[in-house]
Structure 1
């Protein structure tokens, strides 16, 4: 910064101030950037699931649908440095609500969040690959258009955890978990939207609930299932 100060003495005062402000902003951005290139500790769950999240005497089987007791996930958050990619497609109101819920949750738990956006059908599969190439701890997918591409890709990448919010993959492998509710359970496979589908059910509160419950399940190894958070 001292070099910049010396150089700016040769400039008029207004340009000098503008250059200094830009330099300060650039330095701040560099210090706060998320560098995922270095290794980090394996993430873990901070806090425990309360009674009623699952039945300990009958743990969920693969592809099962469970309905956790409301709030049984509230005390769970990821450990420091949890790396998450928000994978999104579509600009419809439900998708925007879901994306905002993921962003809000990440800020609340201090997760490191990056976003990959598919802007057209030709980008759906490549966007999933781009998200995986970032090597996150978790990929959270929002947008009905991603359901079929996820079904195509995820079974071949079992080491990567995925969480689908507001929809579900019809036959998920153990690395694909979903959190949705009545009115949001789109399953893809070329099917029309279910008669119960209702965009009005995509509220900020319900979307946030789904994100927290879904992440809590993944952190505790309860994966490959669907959580209903009505």
Structure 2
């Protein structure tokens, strides 16, 4: 725990020094407005408590898209089959919506990868790969001005800037909790991953953040 705290402090210092990446966008900007409105059943009837899990009505997110040029960094690690499905789903979604997508492969160092992603000044950082869960638990809590979306996994105690889209068969939570008893790599289908990315982005765009969306 002490090691992660030290790393988090270093990350915060690096970000506050104003370091930037030539491969990123020039500066952070206000949260872009969504195009469209989600259907009934996407948002809960009463405000959710932080860290709550909510199951929106299937397809209720389909009426919402990000504006063209929405800045997204896909932060990914690993080459296992579930992660590959998630990466493909994000890339397909980006092509469909004309999002401006950059990819950071964090296999060499996950903390450095997260720092690189934040330096790019994206509107949203999307995480794909179970191994990123523990590093992100520290990084995200120290950078509440950055929005994160975790697909196919979740943080045990997410802060308000971390949204997750999960389902039965996924739900890796890290922090010694490991995989869920129902973990099933075959549940990572293109259809489910596509729904998760679309629902998750809709949730972020409409301000429903810091929760877990359950997609089944």
Same-fold call, TM > 0.5?
Answer: yes
Aligned to 2:3: none
Structure 1 or 2: more helix by fraction: 1
Residues 129-180 of structure 1, C-alpha deviations (whole Å, 9 max, x = no match): 0000001000000000000000011001000000000000000000000001
Q: Distance in 2 between matches of 1:157 and 1:40?
A: 15
Q: Distance in 1 between matches of 2:207 and 2:42?
A: 13
Q: Taking structure 1 as reference, are residues 130 and 39 closer, same or farther at Cα in structure 2, changes over 3 Å only?
A: closer
Aligned to 2:82: 94
Aligned to 1:199: 185
TM-score, L = length of structure 1: 0.81
TM-score, L = length of structure 2: 0.86
Aligned to 2:171: 185
Instruction: Flag the structure with larger Rg.
Output: 1
Q: Distance in 2 between matches of 1:157 and 1:35?
A: 18
Matches within 5 A, 1:128-207: 128-207=114-193
Instruction: Indicate if the aligned counterparts of 2:56 and 2:213 stay in contact, CA closer than 8 A.
Output: yes
RMSD (Å) for aligned C-alpha atoms: 1.5
Instruction: Indicate if the aligned counterparts of 1:40 and 1:81 stay in contact, CA closer than 8 A.
Output: no
| Large movers: runs of 4+ above 4 Å | 38-42
Post-superposition offset of 1:49: 1.0
Instruction: Verify: 1:209 aligned to 2:209, yes or no.
Output: no
Instruction: Indicate if the aligned counterparts of 1:54 and 1:60 stay in contact, CA closer than 8 A.
Output: no
Instruction: Indicate if the aligned counterparts of 1:43 and 1:80 stay in contact, CA closer than 8 A.
Output: no
Aligned to 1:23: none
Post-superposition offset of 1:55: 2.3
Post-superposition offset of 1:36: 2.2
Instruction: Indicate if the aligned counterparts of 1:63 and 1:224 stay in contact, CA closer than 8 A.
Output: yes
Residues 55-85 of structure 1, C-alpha deviations (whole Å, 9 max, x = no match): 23x1211100000000100010011221000
Post-superposition offset of 1:192: 3.0
Q: Distance in 2 between matches of 1:38 and 1:154?
A: 19
Q: Taking structure 1 as reference, are residues 132 and 39 closer, same or farther at Cα in structure 2, changes over 3 Å only?
A: closer
Higher relative contact order (CA 8 A, sep 6+): 2
Q: Taking structure 1 as reference, are residues 206 and 155 closer, same or farther at Cα in structure 2, changes over 3 Å only?
A: same
Unaligned residue ranges in structure 2 (runs of 5+): 1-22
Aligned to 1:64: 52
Q: 2:112 aligns with which of 122, 126, 139?
A: 126
Unaligned residue ranges in structure 1 (runs of 5+): 1-33
Count of paired positions: 194
Instruction: Verify: 1:223 aligned to 2:209, yes or no.
Output: yes
